[in-house]
């Protein structure tokens, strides 16, 4: 399989604090690739580096073979990289529909005047984007809530809306930062089903950060383990579960 993402020896520091140290791995196109590690290991710093929120002091980020290390986040999004956040970042005073429509702006081609007057190409474009958003609402089973204000929804439902907003960008690489954090068992099962459906039906490459090790082992093709900003293991679930460094650092001595 071709390589979708190559994190090439990146290092990131904040003052004297080293968040990432020469982290290097590749994600194949169409894979579910998970990153695990203790709290504070550098996992979110890694995602922030991939989507451009942080800029590592050394190393490169390659996307489909091209060096995107110097590109701002909006340029990376236009290339097909989108993400969810560990802490939900939605427009809480807007509806579910409006939150998803807001994510479509990156695909809109009509000029400001045409958009303001809402005629011709701008009108046709709006209808096409609305159709795509309605498809996502159906896919995520949010139909009864499409006109609901996001701030009134439960935590689990807001997590689902945030997934929808990331999908509205039509990514080929989806970065999921702890999409199941704070959810109950039923909500986690639903989210896992959506992630698998995205992967299987759309062929989207997924990079997942998640603390639920059982889930990670079940759905991932490959796993990277970070501890104190350093990569201590990369491999299949079977290889990772038998890696002594990983067991000692994260899984626990009795988990092998």
Residue 220 to residues 11, 34, 180, 213, 226, Cα–Cα distance (Å): 25, 6, 15, 10, 16
Q: Which of 103-107, 159-163, 231-235 has the lowest mean pLDDT?
A: 103-107
Q: Which residue has the higher pLDDT, 202 or 128?
A: 202
Average pLDDT over residues 66-72: 97
Residue spans per domain, the chain: 1-80+171-256, 90-170
The CB-side HSE value for 44 (13 A sphere, CA atoms) comes to 11
Q: Which residue has the higher pLDDT, 12 or 112?
A: 12
pLDDT over 90 for what percent of the chain? 70
Per-residue pLDDT for 23 more than 60? yes
Computed over every residue of the chain, the mean pLDDT equals 88
- The pLDDT of residue 111 is 46
- The pLDDT of residue 91 is 85
- The pLDDT of residue 115 is 46
- The pLDDT of residue 252 is 55
Q: Which CATH class is domain 1-80+171-256?
A: alpha beta
**pLDDT band at residue 182, thresholds of 50, 70 and 90?**
confident
pLDDT tens per residue across span 208-234 = 999 888 899 999 999 999 999 999 999
- The CA radius of gyration of the chain, in Å to the nearest whole number, is 19
pLDDT tens per residue across span 119-157 = 455 566 677 788 889 999 999 999 999 999 999 999 999
Q: What is the DSSP string of 11-48?
A: EEEETTEEEEEEEEEEEETT-EEEEE-STTSSHHHHHH
- The pLDDT of residue 254 is 43
Per-residue pLDDT for 256 more than 60? no
For residues 96 and 151, the answer to whether their CB atoms sit within 8 Å is: no
């Amino acid at each position: 399989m071709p390589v979708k993402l190559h994190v090439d020896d990146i290092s990131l520091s904040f003052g004297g604090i080293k968040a990432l140290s020469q982290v290097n791995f590749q994600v194949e196109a169409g894979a579910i690739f998970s990153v695990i590690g203790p709290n504070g290991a550098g996992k979110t710093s890694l995602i922030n580096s991939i989507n451009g929120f942080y800029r590592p002091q050394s190393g490169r980020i390659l996307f489909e073979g091209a060096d995107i290390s110097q590109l701002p986040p909006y340029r990376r999004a236009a290339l097909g990289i989108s993400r969810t956040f560990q802490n939900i970042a939605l427009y809480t005073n807007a509806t579910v529909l409006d939150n998803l429509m807001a994510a479509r702006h990156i695909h809109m081609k009509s000029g400001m005047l045409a958009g303001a007057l809402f005629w011709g190409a701008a009108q046709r474009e709006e209808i096409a984007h609305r159709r795509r958003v309605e498809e996502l609402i159906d896919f995520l089973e949010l139909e009864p809530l499409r006109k609901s204000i996001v701030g009134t929804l439960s935590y689990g439902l807001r997590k689902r809306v945030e997934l929808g907003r990331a999908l509205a960008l039509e990514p080929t690489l989806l970065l999921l930062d702890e999409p199941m954090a704070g959810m109950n068992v039923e909500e986690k099962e639903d989210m896992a089903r959506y992630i698998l459906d995205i992967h299987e039906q759309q062929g989207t490459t997924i990079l997942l950060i998640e603390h639920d090790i059982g889930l990670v082992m079940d759905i991932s093709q490959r796993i990277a383990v970070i501890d104190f900003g350093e990569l201590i293991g990369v491999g299949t679930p079977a290889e990772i579960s038998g890696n002594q460094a990983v067991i000692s650092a994260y899984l626990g001595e009795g988990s092998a």
